[in-house]
Structures are given as structure tokens and as C-alpha cells.
Structure 1
Amino acid sequence: MADDPELPATRRWPHMLRLVLFVAALLTLFYLVAVSKVIDPAGVRAAVSATGPAAPLVYVVVSAGLAAVFVPGPLLAAGSGVLFGPLLGTFVTLGSTVLTAVIAALLGRRAGRDSARVLLGPDWSARIDSQIQRRGLWAVVGQRFVPGISDALASYAFGAFGMPLWQMAVGAFVGSAPRAFVYTALGASISDLSSPLGYTAIAVWCITAIIGAFAAHRGYRGWRGRREGGPLPGGEDRPTPG
């Protein structure tokens, strides 16, 4: 006998409770770290600088862990610029960003993937798997360009939907490269933001913000068109039911 795709409430509520607790834990971390600011980035920089030649590798690991609990990425990237300068600092920031994406996606997968699939059902799960296979990498890249979205929170969500870790790593590296340079360069030039490096960083930030806003708008229009039976990519109208 085939399984009923609609799970009874007695089988759904444990998965719903698990996802609610997972989201509540993330929001609590976000409030404590990003709003209440219980972690002092300056103290972290001082502790890392005391490790000497190992400081870049130490900062990659420490910064990745802090970003995974929602310490703002721009602050961590700026700290990398202060400690290591614009060139090495950018690579340190990128290494930390990739590691954060993998950590958050892995935790999201372990905590929420099974429950998300049960609640979505087999049809929607299959659709999501198909979209991940076709566009997963570019979804991660595009998210990194959209301003105002927490990279860590997005990585948790990607993981909960089953995004492969290699897509998370490659997508985070490619999509975060411009902003990694921007915030690291601003940190390196904090004493003189009117320097050419500071102006370059601001220009790159403006360009990436425009690209991200355009990509988000286009993605939203495409999603809305597919949902409402809008025009096909070739310009032809979709057939309406009935």
C-alpha cells in the first residue's frame, strides 16, 4: 500500500517542533551577538594578534566560528584588514567566509533537513532537489550579492534544504569575493578612508549592491511569473487553465 503523502498531525508535530526550536535557537544567537553585542571584536583581534605567525590561520577559524553565530561579517572582515592588510586580509576573509558557509550549511542540514522534507512532502522535496541540481550553485552566488541578507542565516537555510557542501563552498567563495575585498580594504584603510584604496572599496561596494538589487528583483519577477502563469522566457504567453 502506498504511503499517504499527507502526514497525520501526530506525525507532523515533532518535525514542526524541531524546526521551531532550531529557528528559535538561531534567532536567540542573532539577538545576543548582533543586537546585544556580547562579543567584543576588538578583544578577538587582540587575542588573535598575540598568536604571532599563526595569526592568519587562527583568524580564519575564529572568524568563521563567530560568523556562524551571527557576529556581523563586515566587522570581522574589517578586523582582518586591520590585522593583515588589504591583500592577505582579503584571502583570510574569504577563507573564513567559505568555512562559515560550510559550518552553517552542515548544521542546518543536520538540524532541519529531514524535518523540512517531511513537512514539505515528497513532491515539493523533489522540486527543490531539481532546482538545487540545476541552479544551486548560482543561488548561493546570487544570495551573496543581495544586500541586507545575513550570509550565515542564508547558509543555515540552504543547508536545511539539502544544498551540497561543495556548492556552498564554491558559491560562497565566488559570491563573497567582492564584499570580502570591500570590507577588508575599508578596515585596512580605516585611518584614511579618503585614500585610493578606500575609494576603490566604496566603488566596488556600490557596484555589487546594484548588481545584487537587480538580481533580486529579476529573480522575484521570474518566481512571480512562474507562479502566476506569466510569459515564457521566449516572450510567449503561458496557456491559462480552462
Structure 2
Amino acid sequence: MILVSLVAVLFVTALVAGPDRDTLMAAARGGGFFAPVAAVVGSALLVAAMVPRTWLAFAGGALFGSLAGAVYVLVGVTVGASLAFLVGRLLGRSFVSAKLRGRFALIEAAVARRGVWAVVVCRLIPIVPFAISNYAFGTTSVRPRQMIAGTMLGALPANFAYAALGAATMQQDWLGAKVAGGCVLALGACGVMGTYLVWRRRPHAVAPVSLTKSLTT
């Protein structure tokens, strides 16, 4: 309950107090060395407050260019996801581990066994909310270093695609925007396909009849 309340407060705060476009543009152009630091820290805090990472990547590309913006936001997103993971670990792990039963216990065991790749897959499939999964992974047995590595690998493709789209849009490079938009759509299609494959291979609870039969034979 504490974890859910904290996440809700962070999200509302980001909506109410978030900087507008003009403020961000002025800071990026006149901030010098501190602008990239602000981009990383801001991305981290906004991700922890459940702002979509794709918005941040688009804004990073628009403000700093496709490559620099993507790198700054990727670092910030990874830091923010790690912070949310630690909050989930501190506030939710004990409660969740005590309540795991049946299929949910099987899913948690499968996630913990796959580690880095479980995080990568969750970052790539579109139906898994990135911000919520950061906190949710903290309640599992996934290790912090697995969370960090999986987040960087899984978030990298979409992060660069949206940053390129933001940069092309800001520069009014419509051909570049079409190419970047095509990459975004391709990533979405691959994510949908990956979602289907993951769903087909989801853990199933052992049926009582089958279990009884196996014990008696």
C-alpha cells in the first residue's frame, strides 16, 4: 500500500510541476556542461515518477540531437529505473514474497531464473508498462545488476528510435522523421510478436488431477 501511494504521488507531482517546452529549450541551449547532467537527472526523476520513457527519448532527441539525446536519456532512464527498483525492493519485496501462490509463484520463479533476459523482454514488449515494471521487478528475486543490464539492453532500441524521431521533427527533417517513425512502428510490431510468443510460453500451474496421477504411478 505504501509503494502504490508513493508511485501515485510521484506521478501526480510530475504532471503538475513538470517544466514546459520553452523552459527545457532554454536550459538545453544555455546550460553548457550542466545541461547533459540536468537531462540525466531529470530523466531519472521523471521515469521514477512514471513519465513514459518514449516521451523523454523524443524530448532528448529534440533538445540535444539524436545521438547525444539518446545517450543522456538512456543513462537517466536506467538510473530512474534502478531507483524505482530499489523502492520496490524496500517497500514491496517482503509483502509480495509472503503472498506468492500458484501461478504467480511460478511466474516469479521464471522471472528470477531468466534474470537479465526477463528484464530485456519486458522492456521490449509494449503491453508491459515500463514505469510500473520498474517497481514490480523490485518485488521479485531479480538482482540489481540484472535489472540495470536488462534495462539498458531492452530500452536501447526504442530510445534511439524515439530520439531520432524527436531530432528530425525539431529540425523539420521530414524524411528523417519518416525513417525514424518507420523504425518506431517496426519496433512496435516486433514487440507485439514478442508479446504473443512470451504469452504462449507462460508458466502453467500443474493441474491437481495430473499431479495426483503422477504420484500414484
Pairwise same-fold verdict (TM > 0.5):
yes
Counterpart among 52, 58, 61 of residue 81 in structure 1:
61
Do structure 1's residue 22 and structure 2's residue 10 form an aligned pair?
no
Shift of 1:99: 1.0
Partner of residue 81 from structure 2, selected from 101, 123, 127: 101
Q: Which amino acid aligns with 1:108?
A: G
Alpha-carbon deviation of 1:177? 1.0
CA shift for structure 1 position 49: 4.4
Partner residue of 2:99 out of 84, 98, 119? 119
1:80-118 Cα deviation digits (max 9, x unpaired): 112211111111121112112211111110111111112
1:118 and 1:99 map into 2 onto residues whose CA distance is 28
- Cα RMSD between the aligned structures? 2.6
1:175 Cα deviation from its structure 2 partner: 0.7
Q: 1:134 aligns with which of 106, 113, 120?
A: 113
Instruction: Look up the match of 2:178.
Output: 199
Structure 1 residues 91 and 171: alpha-carbon distance in aligned structure 2, compared to 1, 3 A threshold: same
* Aligned counterpart, 1:52: 32
Q: Work out whether residues 65 and 100 of structure 1, in 8 Å CA contact, stay in contact via their aligned partners in 2.
A: yes
Contact kept, 8 Å, 1:100 with 1:152, in 2: the verdict is no
Q: Which residue does 1:178 correspond to in 2?
A: 157
The structure with the largest alpha-carbon Rg is 1
| Counterpart contact for 1:128–1:161, Cα < 8 Å | no
Determine if contact 2:66/2:160 at 8 Å carries over to the other structure. yes
| CA distance in 1 between partners of 2:167 and 2:130 (Å) | 22
Structure 1: runs of 5 or more not aligned: 1-19, 230-238
Q: Is structure 2 residue 165 aligned with structure 1 residue 189?
A: no
- For each residue in 1:48-85, what CA deviation from the matched residue of structure 2 results, as whole angstroms up to 9, or x when unmatched? 54431232122111211111102232222122112211
Distance in 2 between the 1:220 and 1:179 partners?
21
TM-score (ref. length: structure 1):
0.75
1:162-187 CA deviation, whole Å, 9 max, x = no partner? 32111111111111111111111111
Unaligned runs of 5+ in 2: none
Query: Quick one: structure 1 residues 29 and 53, their matched pair in 2 at CA, closer, same or farther if it must change by over 3 Å?
Result: closer
What does residue range 142-153 of structure 1 map to in structure 2 within 5 Å? 142-153=121-132
